[in-house]
């Protein structure tokens, strides 16, 4: 089975949920037009299907190697990256001033979904580069932008994110990497781990964005600064110059994403320190890095969508061909006709579409915020922990169901189902664990504004339910979603009155319940649009309605279970003591 990009579904969600037609032509997207969207997506699909997907198995079987201090990527990846860069894909949403296309982020999100579905390991490299570009555009001094951005936007140079250290994972207050002033730059000393694509030979240069502490800076996260540290220090003409004092010292041996070079990096091993340039102001590095992290988190959520789509396609293709047993009411036939196999496939399909809807809605909110629309930034920030946290948990369920549909054949390597399970597992961990995003959602995104933005979203969902209740096809789904909206509203108000400990204990269930509900709302919203356009493409639009109805009836009850568990988080005598746990 070969991955095929679901272009029709993508275009539908971009138009009906992301609102891409509405932002095209408005600053800063003056050069974009709705008429270009199909052609852009079709070209992205060709690269994903014909170039990246055939290399997915190669990265699994022949992962990168560290040879004489240099990472050598999987054979074929360098040529694939050359085609990626020459196609201008690194420049999708970048500023035209530096050679970018200036396209809406929603369009780039659809392309990113394709890269991840076709070859997750490969896709991590350009996605991190895009996040680094956005960070440098937002916070870098003009001189740094002029020196680095054109080469990064063109794809000649790639970018990375360097946060984690052996003693500082999710808690960055423990960062020990040092920055020593030297003239107009700094010398960086320290070690970073888990650096995706920290080294490779696919591009001429690699630009590392590194969190470090200037000597004498305050303790904790208040004393962290952000530095641009290139693998090769550029010459005056912006070509790569001498090798900087940095490099990989090991490649991590991982459960999945074997084709991605995950490096342990050392800065200053030769003693002189790696030359680095301060981005923005001293001691504000973490706030700047949140620009890169939010971009990366949106894209990790899209990784969840892409891998879920791949898993669903693989499961459907296998189930349509595999003959085993006798389906009810039939003399013979493929297992797709067994009711429980059909149930699993429908779970996979509907959850994948819900995750896509959330990611595209978040990207659309980002685009609207850039056009100056009031309230759009708050909606984007509310949806980011959902798009990352919920979507990647969905990917675990969908990947597991893919293996289950395959049965014993899924547990052996030849079908590729096992690789999907392995690759998906990292998504709920990197760029912030599910718990981190749950605490962000219930804390910064809900408690901080007294639940105002979440309440606005739930109010919109209620209005959608009122419209859908008038439809014979969607009345049942509208009732189910409407009831869940009411429960979410009640729970939100209750949590706002509770203490920090209760909110923390309830956070993951609250996030998962809200994610499931928001997915239901957006599927209902898209089903209304499909019903209005039924005559244009009856089969496609009828499928959107059926997916919505299945999700509301069979998946949405998970939200009710999560909301109930969140409400019961503070009940006494349910948590074991340290002694009982053997601590």
Write the DSSP assignment of 371-393 as a string of letters: TT-TTHHHHHHHHHHIIIIIHHH
CB 20 within 8 A of CB 365: no
For residues 95 and 144, give the distance between their C-alpha atoms in angstroms, rounded to a whole number. 15
Q: Kindly state the tokens that stand for 396.
A: 């675990």
Which residue numbers are catalytic?
431
| pLDDT for position 328 | 80
Chunked mean pLDDT (size 10), the chain, 583 residues: 95 98 96 95 98 97 96 98 96 94 97 98 97 96 96 97 89 91 97 97 98 94 96 94 97 97 97 97 93 92 98 97 83 88 98 98 98 97 98 98 97 95 97 96 96 98 98 98 98 96 96 98 98 96 98 98 96 92 95
For residues 30 and 25, give the distance between their C-alpha atoms in angstroms, rounded to a whole number. 4
For residues 103 and 12, give the distance between their C-alpha atoms in angstroms, rounded to a whole number. 18
> What is the domain partition of the chain in residue ranges?
433-570
Q: Kindly state the tokens that stand for 325.
A: 């047993």
- In 3D, which of 565, 280, 299 has the Cα closest to residue 432? 299
Calculate the CA 540 to chain-centre distance: 27
- In 3D, which of 191, 236, 233, 188 has the Cα closest to residue 214? 188
Neighbours of 308 (CB within 10 A): 33
Q: Which residues contact 402 (CB under 8 A, 6 or more apart)?
A: 311, 312, 314, 315, 348, 410, 417, 420, 421
| pLDDT for position 1 | 76
- In 3D, which of 32, 47, 41 has the Cα closest to residue 7? 41
| pLDDT for position 5 | 98
Tell me the residue length of the chain: 583
Neighbours of 445 (CB within 10 A): 22
Torsion on CA atoms 211, 214, 219, 224, rounded to nearest 10:
-30
DSSP three-state, residue 431:
coil
C-alpha distances in Å from residue 79, one per residue of 49, 51, 85, 271: 15, 9, 10, 35
| pLDDT for position 516 | 98
pTM given for the model: 0.96
Write down the residue that tokens 């209620």 correspond to: 462
| pLDDT for position 304 | 98
Q: What sections of 231-375 are H helices per DSSP?
A: 285-321, 339-370
- In 3D, which of 239, 185, 238, 233 has the Cα closest to residue 212? 185
Write the DSSP assignment of 86-154 as a string of letters: HTTGGGTTS-GGGT-----HHHHHHHHHHHHHH-HHHHHHHHHHHHHHHHHHHHS-HHHHHHHHHHHHH
Greatest alpha-carbon pair distance for the chain in Å reads 81
């Amino acid at each position: 089975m070969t991955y095929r990009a679901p272009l029709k579904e993508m275009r539908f969600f971009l138009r009906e949920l992301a609102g891409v037609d509405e932002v095209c032509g408005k600053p800063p997207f003056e050069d974009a037009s709705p008429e270009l969207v199909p052609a852009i997506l079709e070209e992205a699909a060709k690269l994903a299907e014909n170039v990246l997907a055939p290399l997915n198995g190669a990265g699994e079987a022949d992962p990168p190697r560290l040879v004489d201090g240099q990472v050598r990527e999987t054979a074929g990846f360098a040529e694939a990256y050359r085609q990626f860069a020459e196609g201008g894909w690194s420049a999708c949403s970048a500023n035209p001033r530096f050679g970018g296309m200036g396209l809406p982020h929603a369009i780039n999100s659809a392309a990113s979904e394709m890269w991840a579905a076709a070859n997750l390991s490969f896709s991590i490299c350009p996605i991190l580069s895009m996040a680094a570009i956005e960070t440098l555009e937002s916070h870098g001094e003009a001189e740094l932008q002029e020196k680095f951005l054109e080469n990064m936007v063109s794809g000649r140079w790639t970018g990375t994110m360097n946060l984690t250290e052996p003693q500082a994972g999710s808690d960055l207050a423990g960062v020990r990497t040092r920055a020593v002033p030297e003239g107009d730059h700094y010398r960086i000393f320290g070690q970073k781990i888990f650096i995706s694509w920290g080294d490779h030979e696919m591009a001429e240069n690699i630009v590392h964005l590194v969190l470090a502490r200037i000597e004498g800076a305050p303790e904790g996260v208040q004393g962290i600064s952000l530095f641009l540290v290139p693998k090769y220090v550029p010459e005056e003409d912006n070509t790569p110059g001498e090798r900087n004092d940095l490099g990989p010292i090991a490649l991590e041996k991982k459960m999945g994403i074997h084709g991605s070079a995950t490096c342990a990096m050392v800065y200053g091993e030769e003693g002189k320190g790696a030359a680095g340039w301060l981005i923005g102001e001293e001691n504000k590095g973490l706030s700047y890095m949140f620009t890169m992290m939010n971009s990366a988190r949106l894209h990790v959520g899209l990784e969840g969508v892409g891998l879920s789509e791949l898993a669903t396609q693989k499961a459907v293709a296998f189930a349509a061909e595999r003959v085993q047993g006798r389906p009810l009411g039939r003399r013979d036939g493929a297992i797709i006709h067994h009711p429980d196999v059909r149930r699993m496939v429908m779970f996979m399909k509907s959850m994948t579409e819900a995750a896509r809807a959330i990611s595209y809605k978040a990207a659309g909110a980002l685009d609207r915020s850039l056009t100056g629309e009031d309230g759009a930034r708050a909606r984007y920030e509310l949806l980011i922990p959902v798009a990352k946290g919920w979507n990647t948990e969905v990917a675990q369920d969908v990947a597991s169901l893919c293996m289950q549909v395959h049965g014993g054949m899924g547990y052996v390597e030849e079908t590729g189902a096992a690789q999907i399970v392995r690759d998906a597992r990292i998504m709920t961990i990197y760029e912030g664990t599910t718990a981190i995003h749950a605490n962000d959602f219930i804390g910064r995104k809900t408690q901080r504004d007294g639940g105002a933005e979440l309440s606005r979203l739930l109010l919109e969902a209620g209005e959608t339910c009122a419209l859908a209740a008038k439809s014979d096809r969607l009345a049942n789904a509208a009732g189910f979603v409407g009831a869940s909206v009411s429960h979410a509203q009640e729970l939100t108000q209750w949590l706002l009155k509770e203490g920090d400990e209760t909110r923390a204990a309830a956070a993951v269930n609250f996030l998962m319940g809200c994610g499931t509900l928001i997915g239901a709302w957006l599927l209902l919203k898209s089903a209304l649009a499909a019903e209005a356009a039924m005559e244009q493409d009856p089969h496609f639009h009828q499928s959107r309605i059926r997916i919505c109805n299945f999700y509301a009836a069979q998946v949405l009850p998970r939200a009710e279970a999560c909301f109930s568990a969140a409400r019961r988080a503070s009940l006494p005598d349910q948590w074991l003591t340290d002694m009982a746990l053997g601590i």
